[in-house]
Amino acid sequence: MAKIGVFICHCGENISATVDCAKVAEVVGKYDGVAISLDYKYMCSDPGQNLIKKAIVEKGLTGVVVASCSPRMHEPTFRKACAEAGLNPYMCEMANLREHCSWVHEKGEATTQKAIDLVRTIVEKVKHNQSLDAIKVPVTKTALVIGGGIAGIQASLDIANSGHKVILIEKDPSIGGHMSQLSETFPTLDCSQCILTPRMVEVAQHPNITLYTYAELESIDGFIGNFKVKIRKKAKSIDEKICTGCGLCTTKCPNKKNPSEFNEGLGNRTAIYVPFPQAVPNKPVIDKALCTYYTKGKCKICEKFCPAHAIRFDQEDEIIEVPVGAIVLATGFAVKKTDFFPEYGYGRHPDIITGLQFERLASASGPTLGEIRRPSDGKIPETIVFVACAGSRDEAKGIPYCSKICCMYTAKHAMLYQHKVHGGKSYVFYMDIRAGGKMYDEFVRRAIEEDGVNYIRGRVSRVYEKNGKLIVKGADTLLGAMPVEIEADMVVLATAGVANEGAEELAQKLHVSYDPYHFFAEAHPKLKPVETNTAGIFLAGACQAPRDIPESVAMASGAAAKVAGLFSQDELTREPLIAVVNRQAPPVFSSCVGCFLCMSACPYHAIEKEEIKNRQGEVLKTVAKVNPGLCQGCGTCVAFCRTKSIDIQGYTHEEVYSEVMALLND
Amino acid sequence: MDDLRKRAKELIDTSAVKVVIGYEQGTGNKTRALFVENSEVADKLIFDSRCVQNLAAYVTKQEVKSKGKMAITATLPVMRAIIQLASEFQVNDDNLIVIGITPESKIIDFKNLEEVETYVHQFQIEIDARNREILDKLDKMTPSERWKFWIDELSPCFKCYACRAACPMCYCSRCTVDFNRPQWIPVSSNELGNLEWHFMRAMHLTGRCVDCDACANACPLAIPINLLTKKMIEDAKSDFGGYQPSLKGENLLSTFKPDDKENFIQ
């Protein structure tokens, strides 16, 4: 016979202002199987929890219903309290009287009646609840970090420094990411390379970090604590163990006219190349798509000159499989190129460039050695126009969001220009200046007030060429939308930050959800910013949304803390609220008929085939089996199962049915 | 017909299969299923236009399966059902041989299910003109008129489950309606219970029904229950791009395709 304790919480006045809690307790107290029913001002407080514990011990309760806030708030609190009093925690359920009743209704009889109905359904459910035990799974204490930009570097170092192994993979020949391309960084104007390269070297030297550059994720299997990942190490066509990184090959390669990715197409590179001087590892790779030997069948000049004989033209992609316990996604972002903008000439004019290209022009390691020169004729621009929000916050362009970093880097660009080109004129067209952040607004004010950058609030409708000048047509909305026309020598577009190409495929591979713009989605926008919906996979940096360096680094450390927390235990405890396929006595074994529709429906690949064999090893029946480590308890398989052979523990057919019937049979 | 008998004898005599499932003359002007386990019985095999029962319903029955490897005489709807069953892991090349019968009553010897699939894929599942007319009429009704139509049609049903027994896709060892802890679908035949049963059946057949009409043919009260599954075939076509039974096991409702017009399931 069930002995249920019902505990009605006032939640201060949150519930009691509209619900007559004493009446709810009184009415529910008379139901069959309810041994005690009382109300209290704050059930989550220590005295409140003690009321529950005392009742469990004194009345010998078999189940507990706490009618208070959403279970997302305090379910762990009350389940823990019950466990402390000796009751299985999964015999405790919550009725949501706050979000589902008191907050959304006026004070009145009907509101109290609804509260009674809600409590009654949960009482009926608890009568059918079964004791459950937490699931324990072992943890592989190695983390995989995907992406070697600043976020990936920071996450790798933090995890490695907490004593765990890290595998860092980067698709390019060197780690460093976008940060290595930047000239200076806001708001301090310190050199990007100077602060980044020590971290890159630290990664290379760290005993806990295995670095695979020129490598991509091939496939993933498994679940939190127990992933199995396959990594494709793309053929570099050199033997890294022998190569000394002397760089002779890159000077001898005759195939020199290839646009350099690192310089955003403003400079050239050879087919065998090291992306930039401080690259880590500082060893070249052969770009098979460009190399004359691979495309035309002869050349091999690099092989002839290599003093270490390290060139390997016959090298093939290698796929390695490694077990990892957690994954940090730090794949970064991309920026829209100028060809995205018909109003700014479709990228046809060489002197209309992106912000990232401007970074390369301003960088000492860039194609102009840090002098601001026009790509078209190498002249120093006397008038330069910066266009903020190029693509961002533009519904018509399909990018309604703010790219966040552009206000700051545009101020930085204008400032750098003024510092480098004395007497030059700079204009910034902006929609709003979004400079939230420590020392950020001061930085923008400095650009305007000290460096004399002209800020014009308004958008640029068109840029076109006339007599060797770029005519920038815009409006000044602070002067009543007065048309503005500027004859510029160069135009820099702060183009929108967008998700990386291939982000969607990667997300699907990893079963990580993503937003409409293909940025990876965090599990909760406020309280779980670095977690994803897939347990054990975390996010860092701009793969989640456009982020600046301080935010990316903070996020990376956050993700690393989550990984370290996960790795602090040898076993992982998981909620047992997962799907289970029934088992019965022979000769039926299970009501499952093995159609495996559940298998194709399961978004987590948690369903396997299990062969039931006799003692001779003959297969008697093949039925579905749920992997408890992978199952997230979503219930899709339950809906698909025609034979009703699958139940979600904690939400079984019987439990849900009794809830529904309690609501219907008032 | 001689070809069919010859082929059946050959399969039995060479021990290629233990049983051949076909049709024989029944009582009255009806045909019924015949299970040929020795070559003398093979002479009873017939095939003509009266043979519309979907024999695929037998290949999942334990009583037939336990005899050993089976062969089945299969018209197009039967072949479709076989492929769908194979995609649901109920039959395979190791336990079933298909003797195909063309609309011209010609025998096709299939080497394996892949060949059967290739044959089946030449033909789309299409609703015939007469039923399409009825479906259009139902579509034009107001919800309350349609509700009344189905209450009127389904209320005589006394749940003999002949539809379920005749359906090749209803092979579950425990039907939803037999699930009684809890009893989601009431077993008694009343207005609501009948609706629930038939709607549930139509839902379970969505993306799987091979449109063989076996359910409606089996109904002793001639209730047009196949209209429900036909409507689901129409909806599957308009909302999900339609389906063909396939050995790849791509179930219509659980498989996401990149070119799906809806992207919510990604």
Angle, to 10 degrees, between the axis of helix B143-154 and the axis of helix B191-205? 100
The answer, yes or no, to whether residue A287 has pLDDT greater than 60, is yes
A245 closest CA partner among A285, A199, A207: A285
Residue of A597, A644, A658 lying closest to B179 (CB–CB): A644
Q: Where are the domains of chain B?
A: 2-120, 129-240
Average pLDDT, whole number, for chain A? 95
Evaluate whether A336 touches A496 at the Cβ level (below 8 Å): yes
pLDDT tens figures, A86-105: 999 999 999 999 999 999 99
What gap in Å lies between CA A270 and CA A249, rounded to an integer? 9
CA A580 to chain centre: 30
From A530's Cα to the closest Cα of chain B, the distance in A is 21
Q: Are residues B249 and A658, on separate chains, in Cβ contact within 8 Å?
A: no
Q: Are residues A654 and B176, on separate chains, in Cβ contact within 8 Å?
A: no
CB contacts < 8 A, A to B, total 56
The answer, yes or no, to whether residue A649 has pLDDT greater than 60, is yes
CA-nearest residue to A602 within chain B is B254
| Strand, helix or coil for residue B79 | helix
Q: Are residues A644 and B255, on separate chains, in Cβ contact within 8 Å?
A: no
Q: How far apart are the first and last CA of chain B?
A: 51
Supply the ipTM of this predicted assembly: 0.93
pLDDT of residue B263: 58
A661 CB neighbours in chain B (<8 A) are 182
What gap in Å lies between CA B121 and CA B244, rounded to an integer? 7
pLDDT tens figures, A3-20: 999 999 999 999 999 999
Q: Are residues A642 and B89, on separate chains, in Cβ contact within 8 Å?
A: no
pLDDT tens figures, B160-182: 999 999 999 999 999 999 999 89
Q: What domains can you pick out in chain A, each with its CATH number? A: 4-132 (3.40.50), 135-234+317-332+511-572 (3.50.50.60), 237-315 (3.30.70), 334-498 (3.50.50.60), 579-649 (3.30.70.3270)
Burial class (CB in 10 A: 0-12, 13-18, 19+), A536: buried
Residue A296 dihedral angles phi and psi, to the nearest 5°: -115, -10
pLDDT tens figures, A397-428: 999 999 999 999 999 999 999 999 999 999 99
CA-nearest residue to A642 within chain B is B176
Evaluate whether A633 touches A626 at the Cβ level (below 8 Å): no
Q: How many residues does chain B have?
A: 266
- With bands split at pLDDT 50, 70 and 90, how would you rate the model's confidence at B217? very high
Measured from the Cβ of residue A327, the count of other Cβ atoms closer than 10 Å reads 25
Inter-CA distances, A615 with A110, A374, A618, A619, B65, Å: 62, 81, 7, 10, 21
From B144's Cα to the closest Cα of chain A, the distance in A is 24
Q: Are residues A594 and B89, on separate chains, in Cβ contact within 8 Å?
A: yes
pLDDT of residue B260: 64
Residues from B contacting A (CB-CB < 8 Å) are 88-90, 171-176, 179, 181-182, 184, 204, 249-251, 253-255, 266
A595 CB neighbours in chain B (<8 A) are 88-90
Residue of A588, A642, A661 lying closest to B204 (CB–CB): A642
On the CB side of B204, how many CA atoms lie within 13 Å of its CA?
Answer: 22
On the CB side of B249, how many CA atoms lie within 13 Å of its CA?
Answer: 15
Burial class (CB in 10 A: 0-12, 13-18, 19+), A160: buried
pLDDT of residue B253: 86
Residue reference for tokens 């233990």: B18
pLDDT of residue A628: 87
Q: H or E segment at A272?
A: strand A272-273
Residue of A593, A597, A622 lying closest to B171 (CB–CB): A593
B253 CB neighbours in chain A (<8 A) are 601, 640
A600 CB neighbours in chain B (<8 A) are 249-251, 254-255
pLDDT of residue A361: 95
The answer, yes or no, to whether residue A363 has pLDDT greater than 70, is yes
Inter-CA distances, B104 with A118, A416, B48, B79, Å: 64, 84, 10, 16
B250 CB neighbours in chain A (<8 A) are 600
pLDDT of residue A605: 85
Residue of B172, B179, B182 lying closest to A593 (CB–CB): B172
The answer, yes or no, to whether residue B265 has pLDDT greater than 90, is no
Residues A470-494: b if buried by 16+ CB within 10 A, e if exposed: bebebbeeeeeeeebebebbbbbbb
On the CB side of A635, how many CA atoms lie within 13 Å of its CA?
Answer: 9
Percentage of residues of chain A with pLDDT beyond 90: 94
